Homo-oligomer: A and B are copies of this chain.
């Protein structure tokens, strides 16, 4: 096993071993792009180090050898007082992971080597600036001393001197700051700052390794479902300096616009600065095209590299560069993060440019990211009280209550179920959990490539960054913009596409879909094999879903139809009836309403299958529970209060989830299902006369034994048979698969059912023994501690629930090769679940209208894989 690779040894295919950053540095070296030389310690070393709590045998010798080679090539010596080698140390896993320790620059400096550097560069101020930056970074990221303490000391120095910019501090000020910083380190860690360069290097490498398992990194991996990696690689690279005066500088850029995907060079730079100054958002940088005026040669070289990289990688690149005294170095390239809009535009453009095939375009998109495009946007006609404008850092509309810390954002969202907007001066990796929990993010400093902007775009969350007019007052939990003051808990709206901050809540409208979106969808549809339907209960939603590409309805819940004012009255009359006759009378009144519902849905889904689930929830859900409401109802229905209370109490259940609901209701009160089937068939007959083709599929819920199904099917078939001669459309009877037992006897059921559809919400509840209503108390503990990898209600638990699904498909198809098997649980619109469903051979997935495009794209990817 090779522990270390120099940049000349590796290539971009070695991401697993060298990490993304290391592999790309090697690749750039290979294709002749100027890269400061260095080497990469592999992820294998990280893995061994963490497991054994130390380095593997022979590692130290190898390490010495690569250091020596680097010294020879640079003609500098590590820790040398005359001609010291300075390096950067950066983490880099196979997948980019903001939660880990990121970078230490200028490593190698100490009180002696700084003097050597001064002699060599003749620039004392630069050298002490580099030194104080190093001590600060090392103290923060390697030694864990809060960076606020260093910032405070820096501010204090500026105030003392009466200046506002860092650049106004001279060499002596900076030298004093170095001493000050070391004192802070000593006070906070009990240890002296390590003067020995080799020791510094070792400590930095170990800090990178250990950051692999810190909480932020774990959180990031959990949220992004990143598993199966060995660890992080460490890149050690010769320093180049963007802060060696006015002929130096540093910048970050994207080869296309990551916000809208337009094919333009997009980025920012700072003259006389190190990279962190751009990313951290402390100084507001210049736009990249301004560099053309300022350094035309460098700009020309940079645009050349932009083209080379895109030609080589066939994807939009996110690059970092440094100009050291007029010479350009590339420090990093990687596939750039982008908004969903940009992802679609870039994919479509690159197909049209002939750079990639349609299949490659489809494969590289992240289905979950489409979510951003499919949610409602702010109604442009609505009145908006715009109180400020910042940078449009990540598009979309967000409404929520203002909070000022990530912890509060998390708590308000999780525990109080509140929608929140996280407002910060700037964000940092510690804030990830709060950003994830928030609806949107607003910062007062930082640019389009600041931490807040990059992370928000990755998460698909609206973000307004660098809103300089905003003054954030953490201690008093408020912010102010001019005269307007907004306190914690007050509602604001963000328009991430326009960078607007709006007071109060603004109404939203449906998103408009771009031609890029339509193109991608049409390609995906051609490439997928599995069907995609929608879960919806109204003609309006059915239309939305069909526009999004839904090929039918996989779950139409009929219970929601009973909550309208008139209907709930009839429903309650039915529940309170003394006998079958009384129930039938009340149901008679509901029939016309149900019929109208179904007619609307059949019209919207003309020619496509519509799976209608018969009444599922327990009857007590239709009755009030609070005393005052019970009394009101009793008055309204002219029913004695005591009897009403007795009825409600008789319907009470210990575990309603496992109680008298689904087909169990249908068996006890067959007249309910009979009315529903009557409504379905009559609606279908009536729309048929309009020239519509209805395809009703009648679904019996919560089946756990074959006799339940056959009993009800036989009974309901008689209702249908009464319309003999009038039925000129196809119809089916089938069942939900929600109980584990239904899956276990799939072969028996399949003999009588024409379709089966996994209700994976209930199936997951029963397979785990988790009540969704009650797991709040421990599910997040379970996920945080890694007891569960994912929330099984978000993504199918393939190892448990998935086994029951596979069993069902196998046994069900053996018994009835013609049977249609599908899923209609919420996981049916989650991309990993969609891929699993493709793999086990389902006929279709069904999900909420807004997730239909996600499912279509995932289904296409599954089929391409």
The chain A residues found within 8 Å of chain B, CB to CB, are: 653-660, 664, 667-668, 702, 704-705, 707-708, 711, 738-741, 744-745, 762, 765-771, 773-775, 777-778, 781-782, 785-788, 797, 799-801, 803-804
Q: Are the C-beta atoms of B738 and A767 separated by less than 8 Å? A: no
Q: Are the C-beta atoms of B744 and A804 separated by less than 8 Å? A: yes
Given the known A-B contacts A769-B658, A774-B660, are A803 and B739 also in contact in the complex, defined by CB atoms under 8 Å?
no
Q: Are the C-beta atoms of A711 and B657 separated by less than 8 Å? A: no
Query: Which residue of chain B is the closest to A770 with respect to CB atoms?
Result: B658
Residues of B with C-beta under 8 A to A739: 767-769
Given the known A-B contacts A744-B767, A787-B708, are A778 and B664 also in contact in the complex, defined by CB atoms under 8 Å?
yes
Query: Which residue of chain B is the closest to A703 with respect to CB atoms?
Result: B769
- Could you tell me the distance in whole angstroms from the C-beta of A742 to the nearest C-beta in chain B? 9
Residues of B with C-beta under 8 A to A773: 653-655
Please report the C-alpha to C-alpha distance between residue A413 and residue B619 in the assembled complex, in whole angstroms. Answer: 26
Q: Are the C-beta atoms of B653 and A705 separated by less than 8 Å? A: no
Sample (29) of A-B pairs whose CB atoms are under 8 Å apart: A654-B656, A654-B771, A654-B773, A655-B771, A657-B769, A657-B771, A658-B766, A658-B769, A658-B770, A659-B771, A660-B777, A667-B785, A668-B778, A704-B767, A704-B770, A705-B788, A705-B800, A707-B787, A711-B787, A740-B740, A740-B769, A740-B800, A741-B769, A744-B767, A744-B800, A744-B803, A762-B769, A766-B766, A766-B769
Q: Are the C-beta atoms of A782 and B667 separated by less than 8 Å? A: yes
A-B contact sample (16 more), CB < 8 A, given A704-B767, A707-B787, A740-B767:
A653-B774, A656-B774, A657-B769, A658-B771, A660-B777, A667-B778, A667-B781, A668-B777, A702-B769, A705-B787, A707-B786, A708-B787, A738-B769, A740-B740, A741-B767, A741-B800
Please report the C-alpha to C-alpha distance between residue A587 and residue B456 in the assembled complex, in whole angstroms. Answer: 46
Query: Which residue of chain B is the closest to A779 with respect to CB atoms?
Result: B664
- Could you tell me the distance in whole angstroms from the C-beta of A744 to the nearest C-beta in chain B? 5
Q: Are the C-beta atoms of A745 and B654 separated by less than 8 Å? A: no
Query: Which residue of chain B is the closest to A709 with respect to CB atoms?
Result: B787
Copy total for this chain:
2
Residues of B with C-beta under 8 A to A702: 769
Q: Are the C-beta atoms of B659 and A704 separated by less than 8 Å? A: no
Please report the C-alpha to C-alpha distance between residue A725 and residue B667 in the assembled complex, in whole angstroms. Answer: 62
Please report the C-alpha to C-alpha distance between residue A777 and residue B661 in the assembled complex, in whole angstroms. Answer: 11
Residues of B with C-beta under 8 A to A778: 660, 664, 667-668
Given the known A-B contacts A667-B782, A769-B766, are A707 and B788 also in contact in the complex, defined by CB atoms under 8 Å?
yes
Residues of B with C-beta under 8 A to A804: 740, 744
Please report the C-alpha to C-alpha distance between residue A360 and residue B497 in the assembled complex, in whole angstroms. Answer: 86
Please report the C-alpha to C-alpha distance between residue A566 and residue B159 in the assembled complex, in whole angstroms. Answer: 66
Residues of B with C-beta under 8 A to A777: 660, 668
- Could you tell me the distance in whole angstroms from the C-beta of A34 to the nearest C-beta in chain B? 48
Residues of B with C-beta under 8 A to A707: 786-788
Please report the C-alpha to C-alpha distance between residue A738 and residue B668 in the assembled complex, in whole angstroms. Answer: 29
Q: Are the C-beta atoms of A659 and B767 separated by less than 8 Å? A: no
Q: Which 7 A-B pairs have the closest CB atoms?
A: A658-B771, A655-B771, A654-B773, A741-B800, A739-B769, A740-B740, A659-B774
Residues of B with C-beta under 8 A to A655: 655-658, 771, 773-774
Given the known A-B contacts A744-B800, A800-B745, are A653 and B771 also in contact in the complex, defined by CB atoms under 8 Å?
yes
Residues of B with C-beta under 8 A to A775: 659-660
Please report the C-alpha to C-alpha distance between residue A369 and residue B775 in the assembled complex, in whole angstroms. Answer: 44
Please report the C-alpha to C-alpha distance between residue A668 and residue B782 in the assembled complex, in whole angstroms. Answer: 9
Residues of B with C-beta under 8 A to A801: 741
Please report the C-alpha to C-alpha distance between residue A367 and residue B775 in the assembled complex, in whole angstroms. Answer: 43
- Could you tell me the distance in whole angstroms from the C-beta of A509 to the nearest C-beta in chain B? 35
Please report the C-alpha to C-alpha distance between residue A768 and residue B762 in the assembled complex, in whole angstroms. Answer: 11
Residues of B with C-beta under 8 A to A765: 658
Please report the C-alpha to C-alpha distance between residue A653 and residue B770 in the assembled complex, in whole angstroms. Answer: 12
- Could you tell me the distance in whole angstroms from the C-beta of A570 to the nearest C-beta in chain B? 23
Residues of B with C-beta under 8 A to A781: 667-668
Please report the C-alpha to C-alpha distance between residue A19 and residue B797 in the assembled complex, in whole angstroms. Answer: 53
Residues of B with C-beta under 8 A to A767: 704, 739-741, 744, 766
Residues of B with C-beta under 8 A to A787: 667, 705, 707-708, 711
- Could you tell me the distance in whole angstroms from the C-beta of A648 to the nearest C-beta in chain B? 14
- Could you tell me the distance in whole angstroms from the C-beta of A653 to the nearest C-beta in chain B? 4
Query: Which residue of chain B is the closest to A800 with respect to CB atoms?
Result: B741
Query: Which residue of chain B is the closest to A739 with respect to CB atoms?
Result: B769
Query: Which residue of chain B is the closest to A661 with respect to CB atoms?
Result: B769
Q: Which of B711, B762, B774, B803 is A654 in contact with, Cβ under 8 Å? A: B774
Please report the C-alpha to C-alpha distance between residue A664 and residue B768 in the assembled complex, in whole angstroms. Answer: 12
Residues of B with C-beta under 8 A to A788: 705, 707
Residues of B with C-beta under 8 A to A654: 656-657, 771, 773-774
Please report the C-alpha to C-alpha distance between residue A464 and residue B84 in the assembled complex, in whole angstroms. Answer: 109
Given the known A-B contacts A711-B787, A788-B705, are A745 and B799 also in contact in the complex, defined by CB atoms under 8 Å?
yes
- Could you tell me the distance in whole angstroms from the C-beta of A361 to the nearest C-beta in chain B? 38
- Could you tell me the distance in whole angstroms from the C-beta of A603 to the nearest C-beta in chain B? 35
Please report the C-alpha to C-alpha distance between residue A745 and residue B765 in the assembled complex, in whole angstroms. Answer: 16
Q: Which of B657, B667, B705, B785 is A658 in contact with, Cβ under 8 Å? A: B657
Query: Which residue of chain B is the closest to A776 with respect to CB atoms?
Result: B660
Query: Which residue of chain B is the closest to A658 with respect to CB atoms?
Result: B771
Given the known A-B contacts A660-B778, A766-B769, are A785 and B711 also in contact in the complex, defined by CB atoms under 8 Å?
yes
Query: Which residue of chain B is the closest to A768 with respect to CB atoms?
Result: B704
Please report the C-alpha to C-alpha distance between residue A541 and residue B276 in the assembled complex, in whole angstroms. Answer: 73
- Could you tell me the distance in whole angstroms from the C-beta of A701 to the nearest C-beta in chain B? 11
Please report the C-alpha to C-alpha distance between residue A740 and residue B740 in the assembled complex, in whole angstroms. Answer: 7
Please report the C-alpha to C-alpha distance between residue A769 and residue B759 in the assembled complex, in whole angstroms. Answer: 13
Residues of B with C-beta under 8 A to A797: 741
Query: Which residue of chain B is the closest to A803 with respect to CB atoms?
Result: B744
- Could you tell me the distance in whole angstroms from the C-beta of A805 to the nearest C-beta in chain B? 11
Please report the C-alpha to C-alpha distance between residue A656 and residue B774 in the assembled complex, in whole angstroms. Answer: 8
- Could you tell me the distance in whole angstroms from the C-beta of A226 to the nearest C-beta in chain B? 18
Given the known A-B contacts A744-B800, A774-B658, A787-B667, are A769 and B704 also in contact in the complex, defined by CB atoms under 8 Å?
yes
Please report the C-alpha to C-alpha distance between residue A801 and residue B745 in the assembled complex, in whole angstroms. Answer: 10
- Could you tell me the distance in whole angstroms from the C-beta of A72 to the nearest C-beta in chain B? 49
Residues of B with C-beta under 8 A to A800: 704-705, 740-741, 744-745
Residues of B with C-beta under 8 A to A799: 744-745
Please report the C-alpha to C-alpha distance between residue A660 and residue B782 in the assembled complex, in whole angstroms. Answer: 12
Query: Which residue of chain B is the closest to A765 with respect to CB atoms?
Result: B658
Residues of B with C-beta under 8 A to A770: 658, 704
Please report the C-alpha to C-alpha distance between residue A379 and residue B828 in the assembled complex, in whole angstroms. Answer: 64
Q: Among the interface residues A660, A741, A781, A785, which one has the most CB atoms of the partner chain B within 10 A?
A: A741
Please report the C-alpha to C-alpha distance between residue A766 and residue B655 in the assembled complex, in whole angstroms. Answer: 11
Please report the C-alpha to C-alpha distance between residue A785 and residue B705 in the assembled complex, in whole angstroms. Answer: 13
- Could you tell me the distance in whole angstroms from the C-beta of A776 to the nearest C-beta in chain B? 9
- Could you tell me the distance in whole angstroms from the C-beta of A702 to the nearest C-beta in chain B? 6
Please report the C-alpha to C-alpha distance between residue A775 and residue B711 in the assembled complex, in whole angstroms. Answer: 19
Residues of B with C-beta under 8 A to A659: 771, 774-775
Please report the C-alpha to C-alpha distance between residue A70 and residue B611 in the assembled complex, in whole angstroms. Answer: 64
Please report the C-alpha to C-alpha distance between residue A762 and residue B704 in the assembled complex, in whole angstroms. Answer: 16
Please report the C-alpha to C-alpha distance between residue A59 and residue B559 in the assembled complex, in whole angstroms. Answer: 55
Query: Which residue of chain B is the closest to A618 with respect to CB atoms?
Result: B774
Residues of B with C-beta under 8 A to A782: 667
Please report the C-alpha to C-alpha distance between residue A321 and residue B804 in the assembled complex, in whole angstroms. Answer: 60
Query: Which residue of chain B is the closest to A787 with respect to CB atoms?
Result: B707
- Could you tell me the distance in whole angstroms from the C-beta of A467 to the nearest C-beta in chain B? 39
- Could you tell me the distance in whole angstroms from the C-beta of A663 to the nearest C-beta in chain B? 10
- Could you tell me the distance in whole angstroms from the C-beta of A710 to the nearest C-beta in chain B? 9
- Could you tell me the distance in whole angstroms from the C-beta of A639 to the nearest C-beta in chain B? 21
Please report the C-alpha to C-alpha distance between residue A782 and residue B666 in the assembled complex, in whole angstroms. Answer: 12
